[in-house]
A and B are shown apart, each in its own frame.
Chain A
Amino acid sequence: MIKIPKSVYKELEEHSLESNPIEACGYLAGEVGEVKYAIKMTNVDNSPEHFSFDPKEQFEAFKKVQKEGLRLIGVYHSHPSTPSRPSKEDIKLAYDASMSYIIISLCEEKPVINSFKIVDGIVTKEDMEVCDG
């Protein structure tokens, strides 16, 4: 289960729509199972079908949340024209089993957001609770 504040949920939708047709991506900072805020990251692939983080930005984000006593608990990215589920490439590149992988699909009338855990290539949909805040 992952809890995500309504304001962050909205931010993920907005970031995805602003970046469209390029994939939006970022980290989610928080405590175990509880998102506090989102960190927008540059999609260095600048592509509608792929995303990659910039390692320099990754370390900056990591050190920022560490100073705040938080952790990087999730990664989000948008699928501009495919459903909200991990693609083959998402599964192949999901190296960090500790993360929640959140996918924002823009292929329907309104954005659809789902969260997944991916461990050793096995995908499990994660319950998501959108809470006040």
Chain B
Amino acid sequence: MNIKINGENREIEKEITITELLVLEKVKMPETVSVQVNDEFIDQDSYENTKIKDGDDINFLYFMGGGA
């Protein structure tokens, strides 16, 4: 299955969920990233149930914030 992650083409062997994808991408805490699949935001509660499909374009970005 061919997908795109943050602009890079990747090949994965089996169907995986967004949670599993984030683990593969070494994201330690999935709740710290926002995810878009084919330009649509995915609700964090759905990461475990949303399966990646062939041809999907997945982007994830870390939450950015802080304090003084």
> What is the interface size of chain A, counting residues whose CB is below 8 A from a CB of the partner?
32
Q: Which residue of B lies closest to A106 (CB)?
A: B68
How many A-B residue contacts, CB cutoff 8 Å?
66
- Residue A81 is within 8 A (CB to CB) of chain B in the complex: yes
Contact surface of A with B, Cβ cutoff 8 Å: 23, 25, 41, 45, 48-53, 55-56, 58-59, 62-63, 66, 75, 77, 79-82, 86-90, 93-96
Cα distance, A53 to B62, chains bound together (Å): 10
Known contacts A62-B61, A93-B63; decide if A50 and B68 are in contact (CB<8 Å).
Answer: yes
- Residue B36 is within 8 A (CB to CB) of chain A in the complex: yes
- Which interface class (under 10, 10 to 19, 20 to 34, 35 or more) fits B? 10 to 19
- Consensus secondary structure, chain B interface: strand
The one of B6, B32, B64, B68 in contact with A52, judged by C-beta atoms closer than 8 angstroms, is B64
Contacts of B66 in A (CB 8 A): 50-51, 77, 86-87, 89-90, 93-94
The one of B29, B33, B68 in contact with A82, judged by C-beta atoms closer than 8 angstroms, is B68
Q: Which residue of A lies closest to B63 (CB)?
A: A95
Contact surface of B with A, Cβ cutoff 8 Å: 6-7, 29, 32-34, 36, 41, 59, 61-68
Q: Which residue of B lies closest to A90 (CB)?
A: B66
Q: Determine whether the beta carbon of B34 is less than 8 Å from that of A58.
A: yes
Instruction: Give the distance to chain A from B33, nearest Cβ to Cβ, in Å.
Output: 8
Q: Determine whether the beta carbon of A58 is less than 8 Å from that of B61.
A: yes
